[in-house]
Amino acid sequence: MTEIYDPEHWMESVTRCLKAYTLENVNTRVFDVTMEFPGSIVDSEKMPLKKTLIHFELDAIDTKPVGFGDNMYAENYNAADQVIQPQYASKHLLTFDVGIWASDRSGGGTSRMRARQRLEFLFGMNGAGTTRFREFTDGGDGPVDVISFTGGRFIVDTSAHDFRLYRMIDCMLELRVFSRTPLGDEFPTIEDIEQAPGLTIIG
């Protein structure tokens, strides 16, 4: 299930890439991935968990222009019609809250530790994981970059029904992407400038 990054649909694209990359690199018979805080799963009758659950929830977005000036990414010049269709670029830092949820049935504390170790392998700043993620997401229009993967505190939650939940909290993943606007309106270009068409200069 390969997903490549699409800079014109950056938010949904990042989310899909993150989920696909994680699922492709974990044992899906043991682990599952959701892209939101799994409150509805915990509150439902789907307990105890059959699989250890890893969640990514988008927590914050910081968007800034790229470079200086008018921030134009590409002019997209059409010589036949003498028009341009400009596209503009932005840089986005996306911070995801990362959590792990395990029950005794899904492996308990051991499964939780294995999930945290696997996440470190996939996103830790050791070089190999971040490089694999870049290669996985880059389809020619730019990759998704891992800026940091930090934290992770283990707790045991007994508030959900009569089951123990072995959770990881306080873990954050920060990603960076560059977006561009879709093709929009066409604007005419100035091809030649004649200051005084009837003027003859005698030297």
Q: Flag whether pLDDT at 54 surpasses 90.
A: yes
Question: Which residues are CB-neighbours of 40 under 8 A, at least 6 positions away?
Answer: none
pLDDT category at 66 given cuts 50, 70, 90 is confident
Q: Flag whether pLDDT at 76 surpasses 60.
A: no
The predicted model gives 10-14 an average pLDDT of: 96
Q: Flag whether pLDDT at 157 surpasses 80.
A: yes
Least confident of 2-11, 65-74, 125-134: 65-74
Quote the pTM value.
Answer: 0.83
Question: Which residues are CB-neighbours of 62 under 8 A, at least 6 positions away?
Answer: 92, 93, 95
Q: Flag whether pLDDT at 13 surpasses 70.
A: yes
The predicted model gives 21-30 an average pLDDT of: 97
Helices (H) and strands (E) in the chain, counts: 4, 9
The predicted model gives 142-162 an average pLDDT of: 90
| CATH code of the region 7-65+90-180 | 3.30.2000.10
SS (H, E, C) 61-129: EEEEECCCCCCEEECCEECCCCEECCEEEEEEEEEEEEEEEEECCCCHHHHHHHHHHHHHHHHCCCCHH
Output the pLDDT for position 172.
98
Domains of the chain, by residue range, sit at 7-65+90-180
**pLDDT, tens digit (0-9, with 9 covering 90-100), for 78-116:** 555 555 566 688 999 999 999 999 999 999 999 999 999
Output the pLDDT for position 89.
85
pLDDT category at 5 given cuts 50, 70, 90 is very high
Output the pLDDT for position 68.
64
**Reduced to 3 states, what is the DSSP secondary structure of residue 32?**
strand
Q: Flag whether pLDDT at 200 surpasses 70.
A: no
User: Residue 162 and residue 150: Cα distance in Å, rounded?
Assistant: 31
Output the pLDDT for position 26.
97
The mean pLDDT value of the chain amounts to 84
Q: Flag whether pLDDT at 195 surpasses 80.
A: no
User: Residue 19 and residue 35: Cα distance in Å, rounded?
Assistant: 7
pLDDT category at 1 given cuts 50, 70, 90 is low
Closest residue by Cα to residue 121 from 111, 133, 103, 106:
133
